[in-house]
Structure formats: structure tokens, C-alpha cells
Chains A and B, each alone.
Chain A
Amino acid sequence: MEKQVFDQLQETAYHHKLKNGLQVYILPKKNFNKTFATFTTNYGSIDNHFIPLNQSDWKKVPDGIAHFLEHKMFEKPDGGDVFQDFGKQGASTNAFTSFTRTAYLFSSTSQVMENLSTLIDFVQTPAFTEESVEKEKGIIGQEIRMYSDTPDWRVYFGLIENMYHQHPIKIDIAGTIESISHITKELLLDCYKTFYHPSNMLLFIVGPVDPDDIVTLVEKNQSKKEYTDQQPIERQYPDEPKSVAKKESTVKMGVQTPKCLVGFKERDIHRSGSDLMKHELSVQLLLELMFGRGTENYKALIDEGLIDESFSFEYSEEYQFGFSAIGGNTEDPEKLSQRLKEIIDDYKTGILDEEAVERARKKRIGSMLRALNSPEYIANQFTRYKFNSMDLFDLIPTLEELTIEGLNQTLQEHFHDDAFTKCAVIKK
């Protein structure tokens, strides 16, 4: 077991890699009551074209299948579901699917070892039947409908759809009612066998635990299961042009308040490790400098009546994609998108204000510390960073290293005219 001490943050992380390839990370938090654990596979909605384990031909699977599989993993061989087992052991459990990951989790303040075994075992035991797969379609259908009625989700996904010509990131994570109708037990098993091998997974535990006890339990648990070594998974993604697919789009819904998001598609992808972390932090810092609540721009947009407190911005990047999104509720989507683009164009021709950069950096450090209060944040983000060969606890040092020159370069590159698009939700 390796031990890594982060002095400034006063945290110690432990790492152990099992023979079957499973990565285990443990962050002891002595004075917490709860233990939070996630068991995550490096497999999400974008991984829809691959060579299934022990097969030789490429296979394209229906949209929404990774998320569908996440739902079905909760079923047990006896027909019951694993919520019951966790409940008995005083744990709450859940799962989520993103573009690139599927995570299963529990949190509990007692019977941690039993709960950890339950977590590992249920994720490693697919037990769904043809009948139960059919039944799930009604449930997920309602999940899809719920999102259809959520304007924030519609405008967000509309923006991503505008950006991408063919990359599967443009597919809604849950799929559509039509696409999930093609999902079968066999297809789910193909996905399961290919992507749920321990060598594609990471177990993270944070809480009042003893790292040695955890590792012993996981070793023992895995030694009982027969996994043969797996070759690297072959995944395929379509060639994606640098430019956006669509410059703009409009969604009509029964809303009271229209919404508008603008964004930039990252043109230079396939970063990982410290390059990725640096780039992601740089774009985020630039967004704060342009649109943070303390900026002239934010004040102007409020005074012009174009934004309200829902206004926000974000940037996220993974190996396969990156994009920024800026906006929120607005009375006038057209005007807002124009103004946002103007502000960015203006900013690109100016000189970065060093005092403002320092302030934004400080703000970010504080918000990272605040986030580190949360075991959920630590587990989810740690896993995300690891899958991209980064370390969550390097965030603050990396932020401190960013230079004005570097920021300037990112400003010119990311916020490129060809990468700009906008999406509005307007009243029907």
C-alpha cells in the first residue's frame, strides 16, 4: 500500500492496486461519523462503440445503455434489490451515470465493512432478467420525461448538441424513449462484461476507516472471484471537426422565463494529467475574471436587466471533449448572447489585470477548501481526476502555478470564434 501525505491540506491518501487491476484509494477522516464509498467504472454514455469482450467485431449500442445498466445493477439474483440489503445495514445507496463514468455509492455510519462488501458484490453480480429489463423501460421513460420538463437541462443539452457534429457526447445520457426500447439483456451483458472488469474500475473510501482493514477486506473479497486478465478495452469515437456543428438553436417550451446559454467547444482535446488540470483551471479562472459576481461585466448585465441570480458559468474537460457554458435566465436571449460574445471579444483584446487574477485565485482556493468538507465531493472528484491521470489534491498547487502568459494563451485559444455557439429556451 502506498501512502501520500498532503501537508498543507492535512490529508493522507492510501493507494493499493490489486492483482486483477482494481485500484483502491482510501482517505481516512477520523472525526467524521459517516463513511462514503464509491465504486466507479471508467465507462459512461459516450462509450457506445467498442469491441465487446471476447468478440472480434465492433459494436454500436443503443443510446442510454450505460445509464440503463446502472439502473439494472441494483437487482439481485433472488429477484430482490440491493436497496433492501443496504437498508438493513443502515446505509443509503445510490448511483449515477455521466458522459464518462458510472458510479455506485453508499454512505453509512455503521456496519461499514458489511456495506463495503455489499457494494463490491452487487456491482460485480449482474442479475437482471429479460422481464426486468422490459419493466425498467417504464421507469427510465419517466426519468426521461422529467428531464424533458426541466428547461435548465434542455438548454444545457441543446448547447452541447450544437457543438458536436457526431461525437456521442451530444447524446442525452439517459437516451430517448425510442432508443431505450432497443435495449436487451444481451446488449446490457455485452456492456457489463466489457466495462466492469476490475481493471477498469476504482474504489474510493472516505471516512473514519482503517486503510489496512479496508485493503484486507477488498483483497479477500476479490480473491474469491475469478477474473481473467483483460486486454485494454477497444473504444471508438467518431472524428470530430474542431468547429461547432450549429451556431445556434432554439427550444420552445412552456416556460415563464426564457433561458440562454452560450459556450465554446474546446478545439484542442486529448489532454491528460497536469496539462489537463492546468487547462481546465485556466479556463475556469478566465470565466471568473470575465463573469464573476465582482466584475464590471456582471454588474452591467444585471443593470441592463439581461441576467438574474441564476446566471452561472462552467467549464469541464475530459480526454475526449471540453466545453464552456455561460448564461441562465434572461428576458432577452438574443440580446444576452450578443452581449456575452461582445464581453469575451473585448476581453481578448485587453490586458489581464494582475490584481483581479490574484483575487480570482484566492476565491478559488477558498471554494476548493469548502468543497473538501464534503466526502461526496472528494470521492467523486478524486475518481474523475484519477481517470484522467490527475490528482485532486494537486488542484491548489496547480492553481498557484498558473501564469499570466499561460492564461493569455488559453484565453485566445479556447474562446475562439469558430468554437462559439448559443442555445435559447423560449416561450412556446
Chain B
Amino acid sequence: MSYINEQIHTLGGLNVHMIPTDKFKTLTLFLQFRSPLEKEDITKRALLSYVLKSSTAVSQSSQALQHRLDDLYGATLSTALSKKGDNHLLSLFVTVANERFISGAESLLDDAISLLTEVVFQPNAEAGHFDEKTVKKEKRALKQRLESIVDDKMRFANQRLIDEMCPNESYRLHTYGYQDELEKITAEELFRYYQKMLAEDQLDLYIVGDFETNQVLERVKASLLFKERQAPAAADRRFSPIVPERVNTVKEQQDVEQGKLNLGFRTNIIFGDALYHASQVFNGLFGGFPHSKLFMNVREKASLAYYAASRYESYKGLLIVMSGIEFENYDQAVDIIKEQLAAVQKGDFSEHEIDQTKALLKNAILESLDSPFSLIDLLYQDVLSGETHPVETWLRQIDGVTRDDIVRVAEQTSLDTIYFLQGEEGR
């Protein structure tokens, strides 16, 4: 039995991935734009993620567009931004209910494809520029979003850690761009960049749900036409390992009640490397799960924190530890976290811990197949790596990770930067 039925077709510059399944009560259309992370483009891309979903040439106000979506039984039109390694991803997606479950509804998928086509090819623009009012309005929305990050202390601390840790790497770039760049972008410039994006970005369209594949493919072929484009030059963007010479410690103060402690480690192991799966297992038993060393020692044994976890940035070879603690417990918490890494490096973990971690990693992969978005995220890894990874192979490779592999990953993991957000003086 195969876990996923994915059919891939290349139509000009667009790769269409069809995943027919009767699991879901909705149909999902997910268009992924990918380009290298560049400082000069990133704010434009972020702004486009707002402008494109705001209105179209047909529905020139957000209100008019929203009415159409509501009439399509609450269809949604959304965008998302993310970075994977040195790639910036702008995702544009439409979800719509499957009409099978609604009496009186018809052709919802067809309408969804039309809508996506309209958003991409008939944006609210004329004479070489986006609608000025729309751009102005969406600039403000993006500005508000950028300003609000500082009020989300967990995100803010993570962003500050990466700022400090990767000052010379494109990975430092903020997914949502920069305020000073934002002010300068004109409606013409934004439109020019959008044309470039349409011509040069790597494009993948995912369609997930219960639909007739031939019919839908024909429909896509007739509407979403993109010129062929050059594949990204992989050689130019080869991953270069960085080994920290000394630990960089940064402490900042804000009016907060809880200290946010973030530690950035470098594993220099990325997706596709021989030790990739071992890195996942290492992360899982170090801090990825509630049975992990960080959870057990920082939280359960020392009662220092409510959360103490690690996250593996598999496209960048980073391991990020996050915790929230009392200010005065900084030294103790950092010591315990370092001790846990040292323990894994010494091989101080049981077979039992390895088995638990593998079981949970495999479970996470299988569970991700039960949501349209996590399924697409999983499949997109094939696009990023340029290789196919059937789920069965993944599961086998996780099982194949040995104790020595895990120790090797741990030995290769070194602390680069500590970021601590603490309260103001006198508290």
C-alpha cells in the first residue's frame, strides 16, 4: 500500500501536483512561489503577499472579493510566507468546501481554480502599476504586522537570536521584510517585481481533495499558463558549514515578567545529508518531545520552566533551544541545557529513549498525511531537495538510525549564540 497518491505534471513553467483523496471535506489549491532569499526582494515579496489577496482587476475592493468568497460557501483566499534554508516561499492558497457535502452547491472547485487564476493573472493593476490605494492600504497592514512581532516575546526572542547568530548569512533575513524598505516601495516597482516573480520563480501547484484528476488537469492547463523557466542554479547555493569559534552571548532588557532564553546551535547537517535522519532523532531525544532530555531536566527535575524544547532547522543545519524562565535562573538553565548536550555526546541515553524518539518521529510523519497543509509541506520537501522521498523510505531510514549516528550528530553540534531577553533594572 502506498501512503500518498501524488501525480505530477509539468505544464510550461508550472509543476502541478495532484493528490486525489476522499479524506477531506474541502478542496485545497496551493500555489508555491520560490526564489532565493535576497535582501532587496524580501520586503517586496512580503508586500505582494498582502496585495495579491486584497483585490483583483475584477473585484477591485477587499469587500467585493470577500463577498465572492463568502458566496462560495466560505471559500478562503490566503497567503503565507516562510523561509526554508536560503529559499523564500510565498504561498497563495484557496480552500473551498467539497460540494458533495452541501445540498444545492455546485462547481466549487471550478470556481476556486478561476479565482486563483484571477488572483495571479488579473491583479488589481493597470498601466504597469498596482492600484495605488491598495498598495498604500496593504503597506500599512504589513507595517502593523512587523510592529506586532515585538509583542510576541517568544517569536521576538527567536528572531533576535537569528539576527545575532547569522549576521552574514541570507538566513538572517526576516520573512516579513523590513519597515525601512517598505516605505520606499512604489506601486510600479512592486508590479515590475511581480512580473519578474511570475517569470522566474519556481512554481508548484498542489491540488488536494476529492476530484476528477483528468478534468482538473485540463482545467488547470487552460487557465494557469506560465512560461518555462530556468531551474535554480543549485551549485551557486551550496550549503557552507560554519563552525563557531566562541559562544556569542547577547542579553537584552525589556519590560517583561518572564525571561526568554534562546540558544542557537549549529549541526551543519541539512536535509539530504547522510546524517539527516540521525539529526531528527538527535533533536527528538535532546529536546523535541516531552520525553526528551530538555523537558525532563529543565522542566520536570529542576522545575525551572513550563516549556523547554528544541527545534531542528533542517534546511540550515541549526538547532534552536527555547525556554521561558525566571531571570535569576539564567545560569542554572544554561548549565542544564549544556549538560544535556554533553550527555548525548557521551552516549548517555538508553535504547529505550532511541525507540521512543523513532516511534514519535514516524508517528509525526504519518499524522501529517491527515491534514491538507501538512501533507503539502511534506511533499514540498521533494521539490526542495530535487529527490522523491516515499513515506515508506522515510520510515525505514528513521528506523535505520544507530546509536553511533546520534552520537556523531551530537559531537558535531556546537553552541553558537545565546540570546536572553530579561526584565528591566530594578525588577
**Which residues of A pack against B, CB within 8 Å?**
8-10, 29, 31-34, 81, 83-84, 87-93, 107-110, 135-140, 142-143, 145-146, 148-151, 253-257, 292-296, 298-299, 302-303, 305, 308-310, 329, 359-360, 362-367, 369-370, 372-375, 428
Contacts and interface: CB of A to CB of B under 8 A. Distances in A.
B305 A108 contact: no
Kindly name the residue among B73, B98, B355, B364 whose own CB sees the greatest number of chain A CB atoms within 10 A: B73
A32 B3 CA distance: 10
Counting contact residues on chain B (CB < 8 A from A), the size range is 35 or more
Closest A-B pairs by Cβ, 5 of them: A254-B255, A366-B74, A138-B303, A90-B359, A87-B356
B2 interface: no
A26 B144 CA distance: 44
A369 B61 contact: no
Interface of B: 3, 21-26, 61-63, 66-67, 69-76, 95-98, 100-103, 137, 140-141, 144-145, 147-148, 150-153, 254-258, 289-291, 295, 299-300, 303-307, 324-326, 352, 355-357, 359-360, 362-364, 366-367, 369-372
Given A254-B256, A257-B144, A362-B71, A373 B299 contact: no
Given A8-B101, A363-B74, A369-B102, 16 more contacts: A29-B23, A31-B22, A83-B289, A89-B359, A90-B359, A92-B360, A92-B364, A257-B151, A293-B62, A294-B66, A295-B63, A309-B141, A310-B148, A359-B67, A362-B70, A363-B73
Contacts of B307: 146
Contact of B257 (A148, A309, A375): A148
A313 to B, nearest CB: 15
B62 A109 contact: no
Nearest to B285: A87
Contacts of A107: 363, 367
Specify the main secondary structure of chain A where it touches its partner. mixed
B209 to A, nearest CB: 10
B363 A91 contact: yes
Nearest to B366: A109
Contact of A308 (B25, B76, B144): B144
A33 B370 contact: yes
Nearest to B146: A256
A149 B22 CA distance: 43
B289 A254 contact: no
B151 A255 contact: yes
B370 A32 contact: yes
Kindly name the residue among B22, B103, B255 whose own CB sees the greatest number of chain A CB atoms within 10 A: B255
B23 A32 contact: yes
A135 B352 contact: no
8 contacts: A92-B364, A139-B306, A142-B258, A145-B258, A149-B256, A299-B63, A308-B148, A363-B70
Given A84-B291, A109-B363, A142-B326, A149 B153 contact: yes
A142 B305 contact: yes
A357 B31 CA distance: 32
A97 to B, nearest CB: 14
A296 B97 contact: no
A110 B364 CA distance: 11
Given A88-B359, A90-B360, A139-B306, A366 B73 contact: yes
B307 to A, nearest CB: 8
B367 A367 contact: no
Given A151-B151, A254-B254, A309 B144 contact: yes
A8 B103 contact: yes
